Amino acid sequence: MKRSLPLAMLLALSLAPAARAATEADYKAAYAAAEAASKEAAGMRNQWTTTVSTLAAAKKAADGGDFDRAVAAAKEAEALAKASIFQATSEKEAWKAMEIR
């Protein structure tokens, strides 16, 4: 029993997914997804300034070789772009609730 506990812990640690650093490929995939969402928002004429600045921050981090930060920023930019698409879609009808009648 005394010997099996450290062994079990060792086994658990070896099976746990190790946190690995993001690669350039991870960044490229995250950036492409964010850029596509951003373009869709711009096409709806509802781009947010924060989407643009966060995308730029992702690129800057990648240019500096910091892919962890670049991937995080790209994912944030994608979330912002998707939120702006949701806003534009829901506002197609929702604006009427604000109208003075």
Partner 1 sequence: MKTRSAVLLSSVCGALVALVLTSPHVVAADKVDPVADAKAFQNFFFQKFPNVKHEDFVNGPYSMNEDMKRQWQEKEEFPPYEFALDSGKEMFATPFKNGKTYADCFPNGGIGIRQNYPYFDEKEGKVVTLELALNRCREANGEAPYSYVKDEMASLTAYMAFTSRGKPMDVKIPDDPRALAAFENGKRYFYTRRGQMNFSCASCHVQSPGERIRAEILAPALGILNAMPIYRSEWSGMGTTSRRFVTCNSQTRAVPLEPQSDEYRDVEYFLSYVANGLPISGPGARP
Query: Phi/psi class of residue 16: alpha, beta or left (left: φ > 0; alpha: ψ in -120 to 50)?
Result: beta
Please report, as residue ranges, which positions from 1 to 40 form the binding site for partner 1 (by CB under 8 A). Answer: none
By CB under 8 A, is residue 48 in contact with partner 1?
yes
On whether the CB atoms of residues 58 and 70 are closer than 8 A, the answer is yes
By CB under 8 A, is residue 50 in contact with partner 1?
yes
User: What is the identity of the amino acid at 95?
Assistant: W
- Residue number, 22 or 88, with CB nearest to partner 1: 88
DSSP designation for 98 = G
By CB under 8 A, is residue 58 in contact with partner 1?
no
By CB under 8 A, is residue 57 in contact with partner 1?
no
CA distance 39 to 45: 10
Q: Enumerate binding residues for partner 1 (CB under 8 A).
A: 42, 45-50, 52, 80, 83-84, 87-88, 91, 94-96, 98-101
